[in-house]
Amino acid sequence: MPLRLLRFALSHKHPEPPMFTEHDQLGKTYDVVIIGGGGHGLAAAYYLARNHGIKNVCVLEKNYLGGGNTGRNTTIVRSNYLTPEGVAFYDRSVKLFQDLSQDFDLNLFYSTRGHFTLAHTDSAMRTMRWRAEVNKHLGVESEVVDRDFIRRMVPEMDLDCSGHSPIHGALYHKPGAVARHDAVAWGYGRGADMRGVEIFQKTEVTRIDVKHGKVRGVDTSRGYISTPKVLCAVAGSTPRITQMVGIRTPIVIQPLQACVTEPIKPWLDTIIVSGSLHVYVSQSDRGELVMGASVDPYEIHSTRSTLDFTEGLTAHMLDMFPFLSNTKVNRQWAGMADMTPDFAPIMGKTPIEGFYIDAGWGTWGFKATPVCGETMSYTVAHDQDHELIRTFRLSRFKELDLTGEKGAASVGH
Ligand code: FAD
Ligand code: PYC
C-alpha cells in the first residue's frame, strides 16, 4: 500500500463529521430518561425539547442509534388502517413525515409511491371495502380497485399468481410511501442533540429504581441516574424493561425477517402487499427489491435469519412476478417484533408513576415514528395521555376494549 494512503489510514486528524455530540459522562440527574435510541425514543426526545421546552433529557441506547427495528424494517409508511382511531393516528404520522426532511435539513428519501393491498378472496375484498370506507370517511385517500386498474399500474404482475391464488382486486392507497429508515433516526437524533438532549450509545439500562410505586432513577452500565420520569421505547426488548418495574403486558416477541435482492433496473414504482401470499415488496432507489413476509410463528428473542423464510418468500414472489426467477437475494436479516393480541400498540401512562410506555410496535411501528414522538412527548410533559393515543392504553386488555387492527396488518399472521 502506498505510504501516503497508510498515513491517512492511521491518522486521527480527519475524523468523520459527527451527527451528534459524544458526551464523556452521564449526568447525575435528568428530568426525563428515555430508554431506547431507535426512531421512537429519539423522536420523543426531539419533540420534548422542541414542543415542550424540556431539554434536560437523556436517551440511553445499549447498542448504536437505529440498530434495532428502526434500521431493520422495510420502510413502508401508510395510514390505510381499519379502526377510526388507527386511521386518525397514522394519518397524523404521514402528515408529519411530509415536512421532516426540511425540518431536519436531511434528505430522508421520502418517496410517495402508492400502496396496493391485494385481495385474493371474497372475504379479503370485503375487508378492503371496509377499510376504504373508514379511510374515506376520515379524509384518507383509499379506494377499492379492480384487476384492470392493477394491470395498468403494475403490468409486470401475473394477476392469476400462476393459478395458485388469483387476485380479485385491491385496496389502493395513494399516499403510501417509503423512506430511508436510518436517516429518520439520525434526523431525530441530530435535532434532539442540537436542542440540548444528551444521547449515549453503548449504555444499557439494567434496573429501574421504583419506590412506593414511583420512578426514582435508573441503573445503567455506566452508573446510576436519578430521574422522576422514564420513557420505555425499546420495541423487541419491552418485556425485559417492564419486568424491571413489575408491569405485565400481553406482548410476545416474534422474529420478523426481511431481505433485499441485488440491484436491478427500475420496474416497480409502487408498493405491493399480499396478505394471502405473505409478501410485501417495494423497489429501493438503488434498484434492490426490499421484501418481507409475516412473523415467524413462534416466540424467540433473537435476530437470527432462516433459509425457510427466503424459500417461502421467494416462492410467493415468483407466483406474482415469475420473471424474477434469476434475480439473486443479496442480504437477509431479522428484527424482534413486539406483537400485541389486537395488532395495535401500547402507549401512555402506566400504573407506575413516572413510567411511560411506547411499545407493541410489532410489524407496524416505523410509519408511526413521528406521531409517537409527538404524542409521547406530550404525554410525558403533561403526565396525561395525548388524545390520539387513549385507544392504545395498556388497561384496554383488562377492560376487554381492544383496538382491532389485524385486518390492516401488512401481511397475514
Ligand atoms: P427500535 O428501533 O427497535 O429501538 C429500540 C432500541 O432500544 C434498540 O436500538 C435497542 O438496542 C434499545 N434497547 C433495548 N433494550 C435496552 C436497554 N436495556 N437499554 C438501552 N437501550 C435498550 N413498520 C412499518 O411501519 N413499516 C414497515 O415496512 C415495517 N417493516 C418491518 C420489517 C421488519 C423486518 C421489522 C423487524 C420491523 C418492521 N416494521 C415496520 C416495524 C418497525 O420497524 C418497528 O415497529 C419500529 O422500528 C420500532 O421502533 P422503535 O424505535 O420503537 O424500536
Ligand atoms: O406496516 O405496512 C406495514 C408493514 C409492511 C411491512 C411490514 N410492516
User: Is the predicted pLDDT of residue 265 greater than 70, yes or no?
Assistant: yes
The response to whether residue 36 sits with its C-beta less than 6 Å from ligand 1 reads yes
Distances (CA, A) of 58 to 156, 200, 332: 49, 7, 33
Query: Do both 160 and 305 map to the same domain?
Result: yes
Helix or strand (DSSP H, E) at 129: helix 122-137
pTM: 0.97
Pairing of strands 355-359, 346-349: antiparallel
**Cα of 208 to ligand 2 centre, how many Å?**
32
User: Is the predicted pLDDT of residue 2 greater than 90, yes or no?
Assistant: no
2 or 219, which is more confident: 219
Query: Do both 152 and 194 map to the same domain?
Result: no
Summarize pLDDT for 166-203 with one digit per residue, the tens. 999 999 999 999 999 999 999 999 999 999 999 999 99
Minimum-distance ligand 2 atom for the alpha carbon of 366? 1
Residue 89 lies in a domain: no
Q: How confident is the model at residue 413, as a pLDDT?
A: 52
Query: Do both 316 and 372 map to the same domain?
Result: no
Contacting residues for 201 by C-beta, under 8 A, at least 6 apart:
37, 61, 63, 64, 65
Band the pLDDT of 350: cuts 50, 70, 90: very high
**Cα of 363 to ligand 2 centre, how many Å?**
6
Residue 312 lies in a domain: yes
Summarize pLDDT for 86-114 with one digit per residue, the tens. 999 999 999 999 999 999 999 999 999 99
Summarize pLDDT for 244-262 with one digit per residue, the tens. 999 999 999 999 999 999 9
Number of domain units in the chain: 2
Contacting residues for 277 by C-beta, under 8 A, at least 6 apart:
118, 120, 161, 165, 316, 319, 320
Summarize pLDDT for 15-66 with one digit per residue, the tens. 888 889 999 999 999 999 999 999 999 999 999 999 999 999 999 999 999 9
How far apart CA 413 and CA 411 sit, in angstroms, is 6
Residue 148 lies in a domain: yes
How far apart CA 103 and CA 188 sit, in angstroms, is 10
SS3 199: strand
Judge whether 176 and 273 are in contact, CB under 8 Å.
Answer: no
User: Is the predicted pLDDT of residue 115 greater than 70, yes or no?
Assistant: yes
Answer with the one of 298, 316, 339 that is the final residue of a domain: 339
Q: What is the CATH number of the domain that holds 349?
A: 3.50.50.60
How far apart CA 65 and CA 80 sit, in angstroms, is 29
Residue 318 lies in a domain: yes
Band the pLDDT of 410: cuts 50, 70, 90: confident
Query: Do both 245 and 367 map to the same domain?
Result: yes
Residue 195 lies in a domain: yes
Answer with the one of 311, 339, 367 that is the final residue of a domain: 339
Pocket test for ligand 1, best of 74, 366, 377 (most atoms within 8 A of CB): 366
How far apart CA 147 and CA 237 sit, in angstroms, is 42
Q: Taken in order 44, 45, 48, 50, is the CA torsion positive or negative?
A: negative
Q: How confident is the model at residue 4, as a pLDDT?
A: 87
Distances (CA, A) of 387 to 165, 178, 350, 376, 390: 41, 27, 16, 11, 5
**Cα of 68 to ligand 1 centre, how many Å?**
5
Query: Do both 192 and 271 map to the same domain?
Result: no
How far apart CA 260 and CA 289 sit, in angstroms, is 5
SS3 224: strand
Residue 96 lies in a domain: no
Query: Do both 335 and 272 map to the same domain?
Result: yes
User: Is the predicted pLDDT of residue 336 greater than 60, yes or no?
Assistant: yes
Residue 261 C-alpha cell reads as 435482492
Query: Do both 331 and 349 map to the same domain?
Result: no
Q: State the Cα angle at 381 between 201 and 355, rounded to 5°.
A: 65
Residue 20 C-alpha cell reads as 451528534
Residue 257 lies in a domain: yes
Quickly tell me which residue has 420523543 as its cell: 44
Query: Do both 272 and 142 map to the same domain?
Result: yes
Query: Do both 163 and 268 map to the same domain?
Result: yes
**Cα of 10 to ligand 1 centre, how many Å?**
35
Residue 214 C-alpha cell reads as 414511583
How far apart CA 361 and CA 365 sit, in angstroms, is 5
Q: What percent of the chain has pLDDT over 70?
A: 99
Contacting residues for 71 by C-beta, under 8 A, at least 6 apart:
181, 182, 185
Q: Which ligand is nearest to the CA of 372?
A: 1
Summarize pLDDT for 230-239 with one digit per residue, the tens. 999 999 999 9
For residue 29, give the DSSP letter: B
Band the pLDDT of 412: cuts 50, 70, 90: low
Query: Do both 258 and 116 map to the same domain?
Result: yes
Q: How confident is the model at residue 14, as a pLDDT?
A: 85
For residue 160, give the DSSP letter: T
Answer with the one of 318, 339, 360 that is the final residue of a domain: 339
Query: Do both 171 and 256 map to the same domain?
Result: yes
Summarize pLDDT for 271-321 with one digit per residue, the tens. 999 989 999 999 999 999 999 999 999 999 999 999 999 999 999 999 999
- Mean pLDDT over 117-133 rounds to 96
Q: What is the CATH number of the domain that holds 267?
A: 3.30.9.10
How far apart CA 112 and CA 100 sit, in angstroms, is 14
Residue 372 lies in a domain: yes
Mean pLDDT (the chain) is: 96
How far apart CA 165 and CA 121 sit, in angstroms, is 8
Q: How confident is the model at residue 64, as a pLDDT?
A: 97
**Cα of 109 to ligand 2 centre, how many Å?**
18
Query: Do both 305 and 392 map to the same domain?
Result: no
Contacting residues for 163 by C-beta, under 8 A, at least 6 apart:
none
Pocket of ligand 2 (CB under 6 A): 74, 76, 78, 280, 292, 363-364, 410
Range of the domain at 206: 27-72+182-250+342-409
